[in-house]
Structure 1
Amino acid sequence: MNILIADDEPLELEQMIYLLKPHFPNWTFFTAQDASQALQLAKKNRMTIAFLDIQMPGKDGITLSKELKQLYNLDIIMVTAFQSFEYAQKALRIGVTDYLTKPVIASELDAIIEKYKVWSSNHDAIQSALSYIHENYHDKLSLNSIAEKIHLNPSYLSRKFLEEQSIGLNEYINNYRLEMAVKKMNDNHDTSISAIAESCGFNSQHYFSVAFKKKYNQSPRQFKLSQLFKGQ
């Protein structure tokens, strides 16, 4: 999986990689010093997370965020020296995941990336499995199909995945699909629940609704309505 860091300050780029690398040892880092370079990198390499400085030469981070989100689904975290509520509002309005102020403090960064740590593994084979799930969650997935793709024995993959990630592989797939469903409901208010369920790999809207309610303590419809009222 890939992380994009865009900032016109070389020292800021180095610091972000230094802080992030221990948490994502098997991920690939891409850096850009302006929005145009960042966009080209994102077109050639599918990014999972992007850390974007708001103030850069040419296009700003807000504009870049909009263009990245038109390419594919990714999490965007804005990084800026401007501790302005107006900037935060603009960022959150276009679906930015979070907002980090400079100078970046390790503890604040750790709090933001905590939820992504389950997407990372020190074990190469398990990281390959995670990457495959993230890229193909909308398709039919099984232990055997994933094991075949990454050239591992299914029993070994199942045991090692649970050992490394503290969660079973099938449960991980289900949780990731639900996370993607939440993102799609936030980003696409007009899309029907059945279409979202199907696009996230659920072959039954009923099963999707049951799993969603179990994880989030509300139905997909209730969640969608709550997000609509928030935006008003």
Structure 2
Amino acid sequence: LKLILDIPEDFPRYAMVDPLRVYQILSNLLSNAVKFTEKGEVEIAVNCAIEKDKDFCQIGFKVRDTGPGIRKDEQEKIFKEFSQLNGSESIKHGGTGLGLVIASSLAKLMNSRIELESSLGKGSVFSFSIPAKVEHVQDDKPFELRQIKRALLVYENQESANKLKQMLAGWRVKSDILNQSSAVIKHIKNHPPYDVILIDNEMSVLSGLETIKELREVLPFSLASRPIILMIEPEKANHIAIEAHRLNIRYTITKPIAAPELLEFLKMLEDKSSDALIEAASSHFMDKYSAPKLGFKPKILIAEDNEISLNLLKEIFARQLPSADIFTAEDGKQALQSFKKHDPDIILMDVQMPVMDGISATKEIRKLSEVPIIAVSVDSFEEEKEMCFAAGMNGFIAKPVRSRELIDEILKHLMNLQEEHEIEADSDEIFAHNELLNTLDDDKDALIELIKLSEKSIEKKITELRQAISAGEEDNALALLHSFKGSASNMRYKGLAEHIRRFEHDYSLLEKDQLELRLKQIEEEWEKALQLALQVKQG
């Protein structure tokens, strides 16, 4: 069952209504629609018909479903107390039959009435309208994206696709709709490049995941590297997100899609001054800004309740501080628990969060620690900043977050820990020889033999990998990396294994000069591991 939300882009910003009554009416109508609709979709739509006096309009609400429908002779009955439809549907779903009666009574109290249109086997539409005083913000001009001008929507559900197209049109983005995932590759080849591609995962022939995988296998790099957003069902979000990560699909968004979240996502996606644009609409993936390297592996806690904002922050860190361990929390209470469990080096704290807000969470953490806490807020007013600093925060970043500003602020605090971590750095992060020795039941001779074998084996793998990269043999290189990763992990060369893992994960997204740079980093890490291994071998 799909839920569709249709709010036009030009809908007034403010309206004076009775929110409790409107909520109760819609709640009853939606509850009824969902109860009787086993498959298909339920849509809630609003519109505003401006009256002669532009300060007033008729706000229309519509709840549409694809349920069994209602016979003409029974349509009047459903608005009467304790009345239910005859037949198997009402028996199966039960209930008192009061929901629509309550909704109808509330509508009458607002000088309105609920209208019903229904066809057997096709579904029903319940609608009502109320007069309201509205306010249009004069300074509000339709937002126009600067670089994203063309989008491809791969969506089997035509109505949902049309709603998404309408949403994008409000930001001056022209969209093409494709209802068959099997036709995507041919379509992309025969049309000018799109700036962004949105693919629904719920497709009958090929799923969205399968479609993206096929795109990357078949299309030239310059086309397959376009930013792709996978749209997923909320009940499958965790499972699909894991599979998407495995396929290097960086962007997912949960349906039903809300305009503010999508707009924020697209703004960050196109903002090339922010290095959140990983899959840029070009064939070049190198960042213009590269953060200085830290001599230790920082632990960063991100407290953020917005899924898109959280993913974008994680992408920035994955790009600029790839060695960082990232922990996340969806509210202030979780942030406090995660702080106690993980002892992070720094915390990014969203100010407005459910359960416990960022300021309250900061005050609780300050009772325990002086860990640096950076506020992240959509409001950048001085009053907001003062409240954050008064609570004990150490810095302030305004949304939308800019990569360089964020990383500079983070490094300003982490650099203070650099010397401390350099002193405490454990060589086991490079070569955990005691762990390996323990696996070998303290057989030092066996350890030395393994070190000798690994010297020859790893040198050979590096040479073969260099040759595969030079020859452009991606499949061979990935196979070598997979084997190489296993060897390094088995030998407890932890830093080396981590470099190889990231290289394998990112390989298909990198240009040749980046591949060579990654290989050089692996060689440098191997040199560190080898020096420690030789020391162990020599006693």
Scaled by the length of structure 1, the TM-score of the pair is 0.51
- Indicate which of 238, 253, 257 corresponds to 1:100: 253
Query: CA offset at residue 81 of structure 1?
Result: 2.1
Structure 2 equivalent of residue 171 of structure 1? none
Q: Distance in 1 between matches of 2:239 and 2:159?
A: 26
Q: Give the C-alpha shift of residue 21 in structure 1.
A: 2.2
Q: Distance in 1 between matches of 2:180 and 2:267?
A: 27
The CA distance in 2 between the partners of 1:79 and 1:137, in whole Å, is 25
For residue 195 of structure 1, the aligned residue among 513, 516, 529 is 513
| Conserved? CA contact 2:225–2:282, under 8 Å | no
Percent identical residues: 17
| Equivalence for 1:33 | 179
In 2, are the aligned partners of 1:98 and 1:112 still within 8 Å (CA)?
no
The answer to whether the Cα contact below 8 Å between 2:225 and 2:509 also exists between their aligned partners in 1 is no
**Could you tell me how far apart the structure 2 residues matched to 1:108 and 1:188 are?**
30
* Contiguous gaps of at least 5 residues in structure 2: 1-148, 273-279, 286-403, 405-502, 526-539
CA distance in 1, matches of 2:205, 2:514: 36
43, 54, 75: which one aligns with 2:227? 75
Distance 1:83 1:110, change over 3 A: farther
1:75 and 1:96 in contact (8 A); partners too: no
Provide Cα deviations, 1:180-229, integer angstroms capped at 9, x if missing partner.
xxxxx76317968x61399xxxxxx8xxxxxxxxxxxxxx959xx9xxxx
Report 1:59-138 matches (<5 A).
Answer: 59-70=206-217, 71=219, 72-84=224-236, 85-118=238-271
| Pairing partner for 1:18 from 162, 166, 179 | 166
Shift of the 29–102 alpha-carbon distance from structure 1 to 2, 3 Å rule, reads same
Q: Matches of 2:179 and 2:508 in 1, distance apart?
A: 33
Q: How many residues align?
A: 144
**1:53 aligned residue (163, 181, 200):** 200
Letter in 2 for 1:58: V
Provide Cα deviations, 1:75-120, integer angstroms capped at 9, x if missing partner: 111112243211111112212221111111112212211223447x
Match of 1:128 in 2: none
Counterpart amino acid of 2:215? L
**d(CA) in 1 for partners of 2:508 and 2:270?**
28
Matches within 5 A, 1:175-190: 187-188=506-507
> What SS is found at the alignment partner of 1:91?
helix
The secondary structure found in structure 2 opposite 1:5 is strand
The one of 137, 152, 155 equivalent to 1:4 is 152
- Partner Cα separation in structure 1 for residue 260 and residue 509 of structure 2: 37
What amino acid is the match of 2:156?
D
Secondary structure, counterpart of 1:100 in structure 2: strand
Checking the alignment, whether the CA contact within 8 Å between 1:30 and 1:41 is kept in structure 2 is: no
What is the CA distance between 1:2 and its match in structure 2? 3.3
Q: 1:82 to 1:221 in 2, by over 3 A?
A: same
Q: Write 1 or 2 for the structure with the bigger share of helix.
A: 1
CA RMSD of aligned residues (A): 3.6
Q: Give 3-state SS (helix, strand or coil) of 2:202's partner.
A: coil
- Distance in 2 of aligned mates of 1:88 and 1:19: 24
Contact 1:6/1:53 (CA < 8 Å) preserved in 2?
yes
Question: What residue in structure 1 maps to residue 190 of structure 2?
Answer: 44
Offset at residue 134 of structure 1 (A): 5.2
| AA aligned opposite 2:203 | M
Q: Sort the Cα spacing of 1:110 and 1:134 in 2 relative to 1 into closer, same or farther, 3 A.
A: closer
**Relative contact order, CA 8 A, sep 6+: which one is greater?**
1
Which string of whole-angstrom CA distances, capped at 9 and with x for unpartnered residues, describes residues 36-90 of structure 1? 1222211212233111111112111101001222312111111122432111111
- Classify the secondary structure of the residue corresponding to 1:188: helix
Looking at structure 2, the residues matched to 43 and 29 of structure 1 have their Cα atoms a distance apart, in angstroms, of 16
CA distance change for structure 1 residues 191 and 109 in 2, over 3 Å: closer, same or farther? closer
**In 2 relative to 1, CA 67–48 (structure 1 residues): closer, same or farther, beyond 3 Å?**
farther
Q: Return the structure number with greater strand share.
A: 2
Letter in 2 for 1:81: E
